[in-house]
Amino acid sequence: MKVLIVGSGGREHAIAWSAAKSDKVDKIYCAPGNAGIAEYAECVPIGAMEFDKLVAFAKENEVDLTIIGMDDPLVGGVVDAFEKEGLRVFGPRKNAAILEGSKAFSKDLMKKYNIPTAAYENFDDAEAALAYLETAKFPIVLKADGLALGKGVLICNTLEEAKEGVRSIMLDKQFGSAGNRMVIEEFMTGREVSVLSFVDGKTIKTMTSAQDHKRAKDGDQGLNTGGMGTFSPSPFYTEEVDEFCKKYVYQATVDAMKAEGREFKGIIFFGLMLTPDGPRVLEYNARFGDPEAQVVLPRMKTDIIEVMEACIDGTLDEVDLEFENNAAVCVVLASDGYPVKYEKGFPIEGLDEFKKHDGYYCFHAGTKFDGDTIVTNGGRVLGVTAKGKDLKEARANAYAATEWVTFANKYKRNDIGKAIDEA
């Protein structure tokens, strides 16, 4: 079959790599893709938000299955656009992608269906939000309602800081229209875990757990980024935590969406915090995590196309979702200065080394071809991933492999997976 993947980051590279392993797949296209994805897929210059062009391309090229990697097109209704033309597509419709697209929606859903999350209030006017802060406890968490590239969350330690935050989100529109509404919620403490899952509308199958490192600098300092590295599994995601979430979170979320007339098919990504009072949902995403996909998919034994088709057909209960009993670590190589200001266009050397070693992967996040040379083309450039028999071995392997590649202004965190030592 012919598959079209929509997106251009490390996550989409991991999806393309995974799809290329499937016996069912003869041809992969990626829109718009990148220089790494081009190894498995024919990259076509169509943007992820150009729904008409994507649909036309899928029709013309008789694409059998389109996989949407990114949040913006999902929240914007790309799945509806494909379905309207009778095309098969993996991902939630617009009315279900709202689970990620509106934090106010997801908080109200959790409250209504007793899914454990931080206490909160939603606001659609700044005056009311400012008044609410006067009686609040600090630190407190402010969240722009809509998509904001993972940056719409502010943790404020004082009343003054929080007032400033409300003004910048709701009045100055720091995150654009994402800040037309906002959530103000209780500050929680604990370790974070990402659990991704496949959902077919009624059945949910969770994947192996992972942990991201969102801050730009070592020791979780610096600004929030898209993610500077991941490891999988999380040693903190114990059987007890899994039992709790199976009972109160996972199926409950799928059932709640169904009950609301918003049947969810695709990936639900549960951002969990393991608080002293038990696991709580921090956020939902409606797609694979990036760079979570880069450590989860290399460990997945089941054919990704088989699972995705089962999600579309509502037969996920018949699929045995299996993962290897090992570990993986991904260290992101970024352009120095990310996430603020950085230069691009530098040649990348050493990529061939990954072809010589089993269990090592270099997923491209921001690269492109300049003639025959692969050059840097983004803040996050590469996701260097390695497997190992356990987390420590995987981490040592991944860090060794980060030395194989060189480019000007190469930057990485040196403490990805440090938490492993505390497990």
Residue type, 24: K
The piece of 24-32, 44-52, 68-76, 180-188 that touches ligand AMP (CB under 6 A) is 180-188
Q: Please, are residues 399 and 387 in contact by the beta-carbon 8 Å criterion?
A: no
Q: By CB under 6 A, name the one of 179, 292, 300, 331 that touches ligand GLY.
A: 292
Per-residue tokens: 131? 């008044």
Span of 36-44, 51-59, 155-163, 289-297 interacting with ligand GLY by CB under 6 A: 289-297
Question: Which residue from 187, 244, 404, 411 is in contact with ligand AMP, where contact means CB under 6 A?
Answer: 187
Residue 180 token pair: 């037309």
Residue 327, classified by CB atoms within 10 Å of its CB into exposed (0-12), middle (13-18) or buried (19+), is: buried
- Quick check: 419 binds ligand AMP (CB under 6 A)? no
In the list ligand AMP, ligand GLY, none, the entry touching 283 (Cβ below 5 to 8 angstroms by class) is: ligand AMP
Quote the Cα angle for 161-162-167, to 5°.
100
Q: Which residue is at the shortest CB distance from ligand AMP?
A: 283
Helix axes 103-112 and 251-259, enclosed angle (nearest 10): 100
The window from 283-291, 361-369, 370-378, 393-401 that contacts ligand GLY (CB under 6 A) reads: 283-291
188 or 348: CB nearest ligand AMP: 188
Residue 109: partners with Cβ closer than 8 Å, 6 or more residues away: 99, 115, 253, 256, 257, 260
**What is the footprint of ligand GLY within residues 126-165 (CB under 6 A)?**
150
- How many C-beta neighbours within 10 Å does residue 355 have? 9
- 83/415 with CB nearer ligand AMP: 415
Report angle CA 382, 386, 388 to the nearest 5 degrees.
165
Closer residue to ligand GLY (CB): 63 or 76: 76
Choosing from 203, 209, 285, 326, the residue that interacts with ligand GLY (CB under 6 A) is 285
Torsion of CA 400, 402, 404, 405, to 10 degrees: 180
Using rule CB under 6 A, residue 100 touches ligand AMP: no
Alpha-carbon gap, residue 48 to 298, rounded angstroms:
24
Kindly tell me which residue out of 4, 104, 282, 293 binds ligand AMP, with binding defined by CB under 6 A. 282
C-alpha neighbours within 13 Å on the C-beta side of residue 103:
30
Structure tokens at 301: 């034994």
In whole angstroms, how close is the CB of 209 to ligand GLY at the nearest point?
Answer: 13
Q: Which one of ligand AMP, ligand GLY, none is in contact with 136 (Cβ closer than 5 to 8 A by kind)?
A: none
Asked whether position 108 contacts ligand AMP by CB under 6 A, the answer is no
Q: Is 101 in the site for ligand GLY (CB under 6 A)?
A: no
Residue span 225-254 as binding mask against ligand GLY, x where in contact by CB under 6 A, dash where not:
--x---------------------------
- Residues near ligand GLY (CB under 6 A): 150, 212, 227, 285, 289-290, 292
